[in-house]
Structure formats: structure tokens, C-alpha cells
Amino acid sequence: MDSSYLIIALSLSVLVSYGFDLLSGRFKTPSVILLLGLGIGLRQLTDYLAIQVPYVTPALSTLGALGLILIVLEGSLDLELEPGNYGLLRRTSLMAFLTISLTTLVIATTLYLLLEETFYKCLINAIPFAVVSSAVVLPSVRNLTDGQRSFVVYESSFSDIMGVMVFNFVLMSQTSVLTASGPMFGS
């Protein structure tokens, strides 16, 4: 693949992202939702026209992990870790855990009852929907007070991190929780 195509594609994606950022303020919709819609639309178009886009799967995996790291880091740049914030850290981590746990169970149970699939498959599909993603939440906190903003940023960052950890843990535990915890604890 010629490097000029890669440079053009990256430049075009930055311009489209900037355009969606401008539109998101006007339509009161996070720009990441618009970008997801564009990605879904482009995928449907390339499938319909039978266009093969090379290196999509490895690129999306790498860019997704990098994007998650950048989103969490961007959200935490304005926050300071001080002894007075430990209560906030406890509350937000507990809230993130409860939100992910309860929402995942509700969605997984609903999918299980509607689709008649195994509960494991329903659980795997429910976890991404249960995560309160900071990519969606953080652009929406501009008009909140500092205390509310800190709570939302911490909670959504914890939700992102816990969501990835829980998803990977459940994905590894195809047979039981014990088989998944083995690599985590060195056995």
C-alpha cells in the first residue's frame, strides 16, 4: 500500500472528525455518535458495493485500544489527585461498578429471554452497552459545575476501564470463572 493513501485517509478522517465536532455543538449530539454512524454507513456501503478494504480488522483493533487510552487520559487531564478527592474516587468507582453490573445483568437477561441464546453469549453482547463511555459523556459535561463535572469524568473513566476489564475477563471465562482467573493470578 502506498503511504500517500494512508496520509490522505488520515488527513481526511481528521477533517471529518473536526466537521462532526462542529456539528455536534449545533445538534447537541456527541461527535463520537456521528462518527459511529458514519463508520456503520461506510461499512454497509463497502459491503453493498463489494469493495474490499485491506487491513481493517488489525487497524480497528489497534486504533480502538489507542482511542480508549486517549479518551481516558483526556478526561483525566483536568483532574487532580488530592487527599480530599479520595471520597470522590470511592463514590465514582462504586457507581461505575454498580452501573456496569446492574445494566449488564438487565440487558443480558433481556437478550436471553428474547433471543433464546446462551446466557454467556447474551452477557458478552450486553457488556459494551452497559459501559457509560467517556467518549459520549465527556463532551456533554461542559455546562456542569466543577464538582458535577469531576464526578462525571471520574465515573465515566472508571466505567471505561472496568468495562474493558470485565469484558476481557468474561471473554476468557468460556468454561468457568476459575479458568479465566488463572492467567490473571499467574497460575
Tell me: pLDDT of 100 over 80. Answer: yes
Q: How far apart are CA 172 and CA 178, in angstroms?
A: 10
Tell me: pLDDT of 1 over 60. Answer: no
More confident residue, 12 or 183: 12
Do 122 and 129 form a contact (C-beta atoms < 8 A)? no
Helical ranges in the chain per DSSP H = 3-27, 31-48, 56-76, 86-115, 119-130, 134-137, 146-172, 177-184
Place of cell 449545533: 26
Domain ranges of the chain: 3-54, 83-184
More confident residue, 12 or 142: 12
* Mean pLDDT of all residues belonging to the chain: 80
Q: What is this structure's pTM?
A: 0.68
Q: How far apart are CA 54 and CA 72, in angstroms?
A: 29
Q: How far apart are CA 17 and CA 19, in angstroms?
A: 5
Long-range contacts, 64-71 (Cβ 8 Å, 24+): 67/135, 68/160, 68/164, 71/133, 71/134, 71/135, 71/138, 71/160
Burial level of 22, CB count in 10 A (0-12/13-18/19+)? exposed
Which of 37-46, 69-78, 108-117, 118-127 comes out lowest in average pLDDT? 69-78
